Every structure is written in structure tokens, then in C-alpha cells.
Structure 1
Amino acid sequence: MHDYALSAVTDPGFGNTLDALCSTHLPETPTKPASKKGKMETLEDVLVTSNAMKIEGLKKTVDFVSAEVKDVKVKVDHLTSRLQLGEQQIETCETRLADLERYSRRLNLRLRGVSEKEEENIRDEVIRICEQTYPDGKGKFSFAIDSVDRLGKKQNQIGSKSFPHAVIVQFTSRIVRDAVWKAAKSSAYLKDNGLWFMEDLTPLDGERRKKLWPMAEEARTAGKAAYYVGAHAFINGTEIRLPAYAEK
């Protein structure tokens, strides 16, 4: 053994040196890089998780919108019911109002053909005409007629002809009013003087009678008995009705 080797072995400090060498950590062997297959699996997991989150978000949105739509539908149904009820109430009120207006006009008659003058006593003129129309009522009309008014202020001028406004006559007695109305239908005096009485219809009843007029006129031309009672028309005792679409 060489002297330098022996000295190293026999040297008391050599053990310490050896221990130091043995305690020194050597660098670790690097691990293998992740394979491409592992990377693909990781990407697929991310995509699946992302899509799942998106689907879950869409599901929550759809559930929310569905709940909102359901709530709106409930409100719409409620409003529709209220609207239908309101329409029924309006129709009922209109019917009652029409009945009241119709009842208030039952004492009235309209007289057409009475010439207009600058200063006229239309009440006295109407009383005179009523006495000529219904002679049995002479002496009663001063009390049986309440008010007489022109429906307008001036004459309607069409060419060389003048068309006086109608006169509305309000009676105090329904019996006298009906007697005048009945006598007027066959009065020679009214016919000879171009005068005629008419019922005082409501605007609604007037429109309905206009629509019924062609059917009544056709029946009369055919020799049938056609007449009116208020807004209702009858042919040979049978009431004729408008088609449903014409009633509106």
C-alpha cells in the first residue's frame, strides 16, 4: 500500500471526509414528461366539465324563463277573465240604459212636414194638427201635450226645396198619444197636407229599423202585410230578424 493511501486510511480526519461524501445528495433522476394521451384526456375532462356547467346554466335559465312565462300566463288569464266580466257589465249597462231611454220616449211622437216660420207658435200649430188627426181628442190636447220643440234652428235648404226640421211632441197621457199615433196611420188630413207622425226611436232602434226596411219594403211589394212595432218588424204577423252579423 502506498504511503498516501495508507495515510488517508490511518488519518483520523478521513472518516469525517468519507461521511461527508456519503451524506451529499445526488441530483434526482428527472421524471418522464406527460404523454400526449394524458394531455388529451385532461383536455377532454375540461371540455366535459365546461359543457356540463353550460348545460346546467342553460337549464337554470330555461327553468327561470318557464316560471316567468307561467306567472305571466296566470296574470293574463286573470286579466282576460276580468276583461270578459267588464265587457259583460258594460253590455248590461248599455242594455239597461237603452231600455230607460226607450221607456222615456214612449210618450213622444215626431211630426214631420210642418213648415217653418220666422215667428211661429209651434205648440198651437201641433195642437191644431192633432185635433185634425184625431177629432175625438178635441179639447184634450191643451192638457195632454206637455212640450213641443223643433229639432233644429234653421231649415235645411236643398236646391229650391226646403225641408223643415221635425217637431218632437211630448204627451202627458200615453192613452192620448197612442190614439193620435193610431189615427195618424190612416189620416187623410195628414196625407193631403204632406204631414206624417213618426215614433221617437232611440238611435239604436232607428239603425235597426233602417236595416229591416228593405225586407219590409220587399214584403209590401209582394202584397204582404208588413209593419213595425218599435224597432221590430213583422210580416204577416211574424217577426223578421236580421242576420247575426247585421245586428252588430
Structure 2
Amino acid sequence: MQAEFLTRMQSLETTVKDNTNSLNSVTEALEFMNNQVEEITDKVSSLQNRVESLEKENRVLRDKCDELDAYKRRWNLRVAGIQEQRGEDVRKILIDLFSKVSPEIADQLIYTLDVAHRLGPRSEGARSSRRIIVQFLSRNVRDQIWRDARTAAVLKERKIRIFEDLTQSTKDARNKLWPLVEQARKEGKRAGFRGPFAYID
């Protein structure tokens, strides 16, 4: 009887030791996993900080590129409504047109109108003519034509429109502000845009 009891006790002790060893192994595994999780968490946190830093740097660089692009475009104008013809000399056509828009600077155009060409590929059978982009060597000449174009009779008669050459971000900003500008004009106020910003007097 006593021998059987001792045998059972030894068996129970062995079971307890085995369970204890198993628990110790599980505890060690959990501690290892916890350390791994902490290490991964630290790495993820570091990567998140790096990503945020890169995103900020990317925004800054994108803004600078947009500013440079917008600055370069201030020497440009876009023209719509000029009938397209094969073999046309777009630069000459615009020099003739702008001479009528701003006759007081007509003699400067041959020297200051640098490049002019149609935008995009030519499409056979297209109903409308492609727009034209023109780049000036003189900002003063460009600005004079832009101002005079608002009241030029020749443009109204020929249904030709002249636009600023805007970046997409500037267009988007103006589109958001347009309802305010439109409402101000309906109220008889002087309103318009300067770059991506609206002004209301």
C-alpha cells in the first residue's frame, strides 16, 4: 500500500515537474515573443517617423516644383479660337493678332514672342482647332497683351480667347474660390484672381 502510494507521489511529482518545465518553456517563449513584438513595434514606429518625414519632404519639394512651374508659366499665354490650317506659321499668326490687340508694342513682338505652337497631337476630322501656347522673352510685353486682351475688339469679333497658362494646382484652387468671386461680381464688387488666390475689393 505504502509502495503504491509512493509510486503515485513520484508520478505526481514527475507530472508537476513536467508541467513546471512546460510552463517555464511557455513563459520563455512568451517573453521572447514579447521582446520580438517590442522590437518590431520600435521598428514600425521608426519607419512611421521616416515615412512622415519623407512625406513632409515630398510636400515641400512638390510645392517648390509647383512654384517654379508657376513662375515659368508667367511668361506664357494660351490662345483658343484660331482656325487651324495645314502648314500654318503659328508664330506669325500670333504676331499679327497681338499687333492688333496691343498696337503700341507691335514693333516689339517679332523680338519678344519667342515660341508658339499648337497643344497636343493633331486629330483628323476634329471639329475644333487645338489651342496655342505662346512664350514671350519679355514679361512686360506678355502682361501688356494680357491686359489689353480683356477689352480688345478684334478678339471679340473673331471669337478668340486668351488665357493665362496656369498649373493644375492653381486651377484647382481657383475653381474652389470661383463661387465667392462670382457672387462678389454679382454684388458689383471688383473681384478676381492673383495666382491661386482670390481678391475681392
After TM superposition, is the score higher than 0.5?
yes
Counterpart-to-counterpart distance in 2, 1:234 and 1:40: 95
SS at 2:35 equivalent? helix
Structure 1: segments with no counterpart, 5+ residues:
1-32, 237-248
Q: TM-score, normalised by structure 1?
A: 0.73
1:85 matched to which residue of 2? Answer: 53
**Normalized per residue, which structure has more helix?**
2
Match of 1:187 among 132, 152, 174: 152
Q: TM-score, normalised by structure 2?
A: 0.88
Larger radius of gyration: 1
Bigger RCO (CA 8 Å, 6+ sep): 2
1:216 matched to which residue of 2? Answer: 181
Deviation at 1:117, TM superposition (A): 1.3
Check conservation: 1:145, 1:172, Cα contact below 8 A.
Answer: yes
| Count of residues paired in the alignment | 201
**RMSD, aligned α-carbons:** 2.1
- Alpha-carbon displacement from aligned partner over 1:48-107 (angstroms, at most 9, x marks no partner): 222211111111111111111111112112212221222122222212211221121111
Residue 107 of structure 1 pairs with residue 75 of structure 2: yes
Counterpart-to-counterpart distance in 2, 1:127 and 1:116: 16
Counterpart-to-counterpart distance in 2, 1:34 and 1:127: 121
- Alpha-carbon displacement from aligned partner over 1:158-201 (angstroms, at most 9, x marks no partner): 7xxx3221111111111111111111122222122211211111
SS at 1:168 equivalent? strand
Check conservation: 1:156, 1:163, Cα contact below 8 A.
Answer: no
Structure 2: segments with no counterpart, 5+ residues:
none
Counterpart-to-counterpart distance in 1, 2:130 and 2:175: 20
Counterpart-to-counterpart distance in 2, 1:136 and 1:54: 97
Q: Which runs of 4+ in 1 moved over 6 A?
A: none
Q: One-letter code of the match for 2:190? A: A
Overall identity of the aligned pairs, in %? 29
